[in-house]
Every structure is written in C-alpha cells, then in structure tokens.
A and B are shown apart, each in its own frame.
Chain A
Amino acid sequence: MKRASVLAGAALVLVVILVVFLGPYAWIVASSFKPQFEIFRDLNPISWATFIPANPTIANFVHLFVNRGVGRALINSAIVSSCQVGGTLLLCAMAAYGLTRIRFRGANFVFGVVLMTFLLPIESLMVPLYMHVANLGLQDTLPGVFIPWIASPFGLFMLRQAFEDLPRELDEAATIDGAGHFRIFWSVVLPNVRTTLATLALVTFLFSWNAFLWPLVVIASPRNQVIQLAIAQSVSIGQLPNWGETFAGATIATVPLIVLFLFLQRYFVRGIALTGVKG
C-alpha cells in the first residue's frame, strides 16, 4: 500500500518534469513544420494538434537555408567551434604538462595568474576586448571569434588535475628510455588522459557553439555569421518575427547539440560536474 503511493507520487513527479521540460521543445519543433497561421490556430485551445503538425511542411527550413544564409552560419559555427576545441586542447594540454611535468620556479605564480582569470566576468570585458581585437585586425573574422578564448583557464585547470593524477613512474620510465619532453607529452601523457581530453573537448564545443555575446560584438557581416547570431537575428525584438521560421532556426541550432548530447551524455555530465566540483 505504501509502496503504491510512493510509486504514484513518483509517477506524478515524472509527468510534471516531462511536461515542463519537454513541452516547450515539442511545441517549438512541431511548430517549425507549420505555417504561421496554423501555429496560432492550434494554440486555441491546446490539443494534440499543438504538438503534432497535421500537414507538415519544410517551407520554413527551406526559406532559412535559401534566403537567410543559415547553411553558411552552420558551417561557420562548425569551423569556429572545431578550431576553438583544437586550440584549447593543444594550448591547455601543453601548459598543463609544463606546470606538472617540468618543475620550474614561478610555476605556482603562473598558476595563480591563471586562477585569477576565473574571477573576471567576461561580460565586462566586451568593450575593451572588442577594441583590442579590432586593433589586431581580427574583428569581423572567424578567428576573431575563437582566438581570444582558446587559452581557457578552465581547460588548464581540468587537465592539470588529470595530469597530476597520472603516476610519475610512467614518464620517468620514458625519460630513462631517452625520450624528450615532446615525446613524453605526445606519446606517454596524452594517451593516458584521453577521457579528460574528450570531456574538455565536448564542454569547449558546447560553450563555443552556444556563445552569443562575443560573436554578436565581434562579427558584423552576415557572411561571417555564426548560428546563434543567425537565430537571434530572426527573432529578437528587432522585427515582427515569422514564428514558424524562427522555430525552424531554433530547431536547427539545437538539434546538433542534442544529438551529440544523447550519444555522449556521460562525458557531458562528467564535464559539467567537473566545472562544479573542481572549479
């Protein structure tokens, strides 16, 4: 009897959570396959039609790709995010190696400098960073979007932790075999922290793909636009939005990440938890 009521309570919680968290997604995705007047019509009253398009059309998507340059924006985002991931992994791994495997004076000071940046609210740096990047001639370029962020304090922190956890016997053995720092770094240390690297790659990709404020500031011409800007443009309070098209844009921007997330959930959750537990 008690077991039954616990189960009923749990089921209720389950339903509430599903409705609250999945409902909005279902509505957006379903509506992206509808023309605008059907979206409004199917809302009063809410019924199954609100969440399932009766006559699905891909017109919204076609229009986005043909007239709004969303294809270009997706490619740009993919380029930016991949470069940011690559750059971050390389720079952070090297620095983490330097900090943990080459003992040098001032290492702690360097790490302190890195830790300090955790406290800087990035949002407040937008204006000077923009002027700085403009001076370097990087404004309105794709490299301008990711280069400022590849030296990620978070990435260094995470990898430094993983490197510390690796037994020193591994690289000592390699040193005896006559391996230099690069060999040890590339062939001994990196292969042993693959999971952490993958986690960092995913988290970096997530942040890079979803970044908005900095691209908004640094990118001006639509041909260099990234996907989040393209979406924000079709909605924002900048004009009367076309609902169906906006939903289609939101769907396009979100689906790649959700697919990635569903397949690599474990790494994602681990990475996010790491930002917390060790940050």
Chain B
Amino acid sequence: MLRLSTALLAATLFAAPAFAGERSAPTADCPQGVLTLSVLKPQNNPPTPVMISAWETANKCMKIELNEVPFGQLADKINVLAASGNPPDVVMYDGPNTQTYAAAGVLLPLDKYFPAGLKADMVQATLDEHTYEGKIYSPGTQQASLALFYNADMLAPLGITPPRELAKAWTWAEALDAMKKCQKGEGDNVTVWGLAPSRFGNATPGFVYRDLLFLRTFGDPKAAPDSSAYKTYWALSRDAKTAQGWINSPEAVEGAKFYSDLFNVHKVTPKAGIPNAFQDKKACFTIDVSYFVAGLANNDPGFKWGVTPLPYAKAPIVHTGSITLGVMAKGKNPDEAAKFVLDMSTGKIAEDYNRAARALPVMKSIAAKMTELQSYPLNIFLEEVQQWGHPRPPSPHFAQYDKIVTDALRDIAYGADPKTRLDSAARSLQPILAR
C-alpha cells in the first residue's frame, strides 16, 4: 500500500507540469503555438458552442477552454478566483456586478480595445451598467426582460385572453385572478399550478432579478423623492449607501406580503422547484425571459402558448441587464481575451446568437437588422426594456445586496413575516453598504 502510494505520488509530481502552460508548441500554421483561453461561464448560458466554434474557426491559433458552473455558484466562484493567482482569462458574469468587480480591480477596463463608435452603438442602459468611474468594462452580449408566458389551451376554456400590449397590461390582481381560475387541484393534489416556480438563480424563490420586482412595482417613481413610494420603486438609495427605508418601506412590505400570499395564502405557486413545469403542462403561467420563446419554438411543448407583459401593482417595472462577458484583470492574456469578448458581443457572431436565442441585442446596429423584434411576441420584451426597464439597484456592493435580498425574499416566500424579514435584511445590508 505504501509502495503503491509512493509510486502514485511520484507519478503525479512528474505529471503535474502538464497542467501548466497555456500555449502549445509551435506548428506550421501557428508559429507562436496554439493559445488556450480559459472562459468561466454559468451552465446553460452563452457563449454557446456555436459561438465558440465560429470563433475558433476564425482564429485558428486559439482555443477556448470552457469552465462551467451552475448560475447560483457563479458569483462565489468569481470572488474566490479573483483572489487567486490563477484566474480565468474571461468570465461571463451577471451584469450588475460590473461596479463591484471594477471597484475591486477584478475586471480589466476595455477602453483601449473598444473600436471607435462601439460605445455609441450600445443601448444606453447597458452602457451605464457596464461603466464605472468613466471606464467601460464590458460591451454586453444581450439585454433581457421578463414577461408572463401562458398556456393558451388552458386559458381558452376559461374565457381568459391576456393582453398583448403594454398599455393594457394586467395588474397583479387581474393576473392572480387568472392564475387562481386556471389552477387544478388543491393541497397535496395540485396537478396544474397557476404560476410555475422560478427556474432562475438558485431555483428556489427569491431571485432578485425576478422577485424583487414584486416589491418595486408597489412603489412610484413619480412620487416625491423623500416619499416611501419613491424609495420603494428604487429599492436602494441612489447613492447606494442606504437600504434602510428603501428595501423595507411600507410599500415594499405590502409588495412582500402580496408575494408571500402567492405561496402561502392563494397557493398558486409551489415553494420548491419543478423542472420544466410549464412545458410539461404542470403550470398555466410562467415568468421568463425572451429566450424562453426560442426554447418553446425549438422544442414544441404540444400546446398553444402566448406572452403577455409582466403584470404590475402600482408602477410597471422590469429589470434590465443580463449576464455579460468581461476580461479578468489578473489574466495572463488580456489582449486575446479582450478580442474574444468583443467578437462575442459584436458583429456576425453576436447577431447570429441574438437571432437564434431570441435575445434582445445590446448593439443598436444588430437590433435594426432583427425585424422580428418589432412583432409579437418579441416586441413585448423590447418595449418593456424601453418603457419600463431599470437596472437592478446599482451599487459597488451589488453582489452582497443580491445575496442578502435573495435570502430575505426566499424566506418570505417560505412564510416569514414580510416586515420583520425585510427589516433584518436592511439591517444586515447597512454596514456593508456603508463601507
């Protein structure tokens, strides 16, 4: 046993150098050798294999090594990797973190790599999100917004036809009514849920991108700036220093109560995830992004479906921003990494991706070519971004905000008292924001 282990130990020590060195020996085609770029990305998200192979075909002397982690573990992984001496070259991260990562020196500013005119081509919301202290950190691959998908075959017999225009969008009261009517079975025997469980983030309730909207929509951007309605709408002070009174205002608590009631009183949506609930006809409605359209179009679920704008309570709102590519500041191949990021986000590769995935492009030049954005159902997502869209609360501490608020919303969904739980979230956030 000892001898065997010693032999193995020796074998590994000799084998170890095989891990090091990202550039292979020179070949006839590539006198400098083939460079392997490492890319960290969340599973089931772009860059897709199609994009990667298109890029590798165009750049013969470069290879991409994909490292995939579940979306819910991405932020932790980036935090750990950034502190390490061996970070990946490129990361696909959630857009609102740009400020956090830029402030900490995790991401490389890309200004010197940006071709002239590219910034002007970007949608303003994305440009703002990815700019920190005057420097740009990511071009952005896509924009996204949430809308309410419905199973038309289930709603038709009930005489329910959801609206298709933003101006006629349902309020949450109307949407809840439809969900209740459509639900089949009760207690342990629900066969069809009114609203499918969230598939986002942790696949438990609470994901800020989706579920913070339930609170924000109870606020009002047109109210006086010192009113609690105004604060509720923004969910974090505009200087990103105060959560107290913004995340736990009376209106936010009202929103949280409504959100909690969906799970605990009306019971139109389950607390635990059910994979593919909507596609498997186990739910009438689901809240999802525009690429879910592509998913349904490519894998016919066997029923008629439709899209209606996201319901609202007092002021309509959707979150803008999506995951995006950045270059790690401590990576060893910044030039090649920047080229990869820009190629993925602009030109033909980005256009093909946006079209295939039904994603909303960041580049206005690409959007202009995609006529499908002007017609149902994609127009709903686009108009939502343009008319109702706001980023998740911008802050150099977004990562922490995201985690603490997600945990609070999850607990509220599981039945915690909305006010107590939001108060404790505000309290936990305060020292972090104040730093």
Beta-carbon nearest neighbor of B8 in chain A: A82
CB < 8 Å: which of A36, A79, A220, A242 contacts B81?
A220
CA of A221 to CA of B72, assembled, Å: 16
A134-161: which have CB < 8 Å to B? 134, 137, 139-143
CA of A106 to CA of B275, assembled, Å: 62
Q: A85-B5, A240-B273 are in contact. Are A137 and B85 (CB under 8 A)?
A: yes
Is A71 at the interface (CB under 8 A from chain B)?
no
Main secondary structure on chain A at its contact with chain B?
Answer: helix
Q: How far is the CB of A61 from chain B (nearest CB, A)?
A: 18
Contact indicator A223/B203 (Cβ below 8 Å): no
Segment among A46-54, A230-238, A252-260 that sits at the interface with chain B: A230-238
Is B27 at the interface (CB under 8 A from chain A)?
no
Q: How far is the CB of B273 from chain A (nearest CB, A)?
A: 5
> Which residues of A sit under 8 angstroms from B202, Cβ to Cβ?
237-239
Is B73 at the interface (CB under 8 A from chain A)?
yes
Beta-carbon nearest neighbor of B7 in chain A: A86
> Which residues of A sit under 8 angstroms from B348, Cβ to Cβ?
none
Report the interface size class on chain A. Answer: 35 or more
Q: A139-B86, A240-B273 are in contact. Are A233 and B69 (CB under 8 A)?
A: yes
Is B80 at the interface (CB under 8 A from chain A)?
yes
> Which residues of B sit under 8 angstroms from A221, Cβ to Cβ?
38, 40, 67, 81, 86, 88
CB < 8 Å: which of A90, A142, A242 contacts B2?
A90
CB < 8 Å: which of A86, A223, A234 contacts B67?
A223
Mask, A62-97, CB within 8 Å of B = 1, is 000000000000000001001101110110000000
Is A217 at the interface (CB under 8 A from chain B)?
yes
Is A163 at the interface (CB under 8 A from chain B)?
no
Mask, B167-186, CB within 8 Å of A = 1, is 00000000000000000000
Contact indicator A238/B73 (Cβ below 8 Å): yes
Contact indicator B70/A236 (Cβ below 8 Å): yes
Q: How far is the CB of A232 from chain B (nearest CB, A)?
A: 9
Mask, B61-98, CB within 8 Å of A = 1, is 00001011111110001001101111010000000000
Mask, A209-225, CB within 8 Å of B = 1, is 00000000100111110
Q: How far is the CB of B27 from chain A (nearest CB, A)?
A: 23
Q: A83-B12, A236-B73, A237-B203 are in contact. Are A134 and B5 (CB under 8 A)?
A: no
> Which residues of A sit under 8 angstroms from B83, Cβ to Cβ?
134
Contact indicator B67/A222 (Cβ below 8 Å): yes
Q: How far is the CB of A256 from chain B (nearest CB, A)?
A: 15
> Which residues of A sit under 8 angstroms from B70, Cβ to Cβ?
233-234, 236, 238-239
Beta-carbon nearest neighbor of A83 in chain B: B9
Mask, A21-42, CB within 8 Å of B = 1, is 0000000000000001100000
Is B375 at the interface (CB under 8 A from chain A)?
no
B414-432: which have CB < 8 Å to A? none
Q: A220-B84, A223-B19 are in contact. Are A86 and B73 (CB under 8 A)?
A: no
| Chain B: interface residue total (CB-CB under 8 A) | 37
Is A115 at the interface (CB under 8 A from chain B)?
no
Beta-carbon nearest neighbor of A237 in chain B: B202
Q: How far is the CB of A72 from chain B (nearest CB, A)?
A: 11
Contact indicator B73/A220 (Cβ below 8 Å): no
Is A197 at the interface (CB under 8 A from chain B)?
yes
Interface centre among A83, A190, A236, by most B CB within 10 Å? A83
> Which residues of B sit under 8 angstroms from A234, Cβ to Cβ?
70
Interface centre among A82, A139, A234, A239, by most B CB within 10 Å? A239
CA of A220 to CA of B81, assembled, Å: 6
Contact indicator A201/B5 (Cβ below 8 Å): yes
Q: How far is the CB of B217 from chain A (nearest CB, A)?
A: 25
Q: Other than the known A134-B85, A221-B67, A223-B65, what 17 A-B pairs have Cβ atoms closer than 8 Å?
A: A82-B8, A85-B1, A86-B2, A137-B85, A139-B85, A141-B86, A198-B1, A221-B38, A221-B86, A222-B69, A223-B67, A236-B72, A238-B72, A239-B44, A239-B72, A240-B199, A240-B275
Give me the 3 closest cross-chain CB pairs, A-B, nearest first. Answer: A86-B5, A238-B70, A238-B72
User: Contact residues of A with B, CB < 8 Å?
Assistant: 36-37, 79, 82-83, 85-87, 89-90, 134, 137, 139-143, 190, 197-198, 201, 217, 220-224, 233-234, 236-243
User: Contact residues of B with A, CB < 8 Å?
Assistant: 1-2, 4-6, 8-9, 12, 16, 19, 38, 40, 43-44, 65, 67-73, 77, 80-81, 83-86, 88, 199, 202-204, 273, 275, 280
What would be 16 A-B contacts, judged by CB atoms less than 8 Å apart? A36-B275, A82-B4, A82-B8, A89-B5, A134-B84, A139-B84, A139-B86, A141-B86, A197-B1, A198-B1, A220-B84, A237-B202, A237-B204, A238-B202, A239-B70, A240-B203
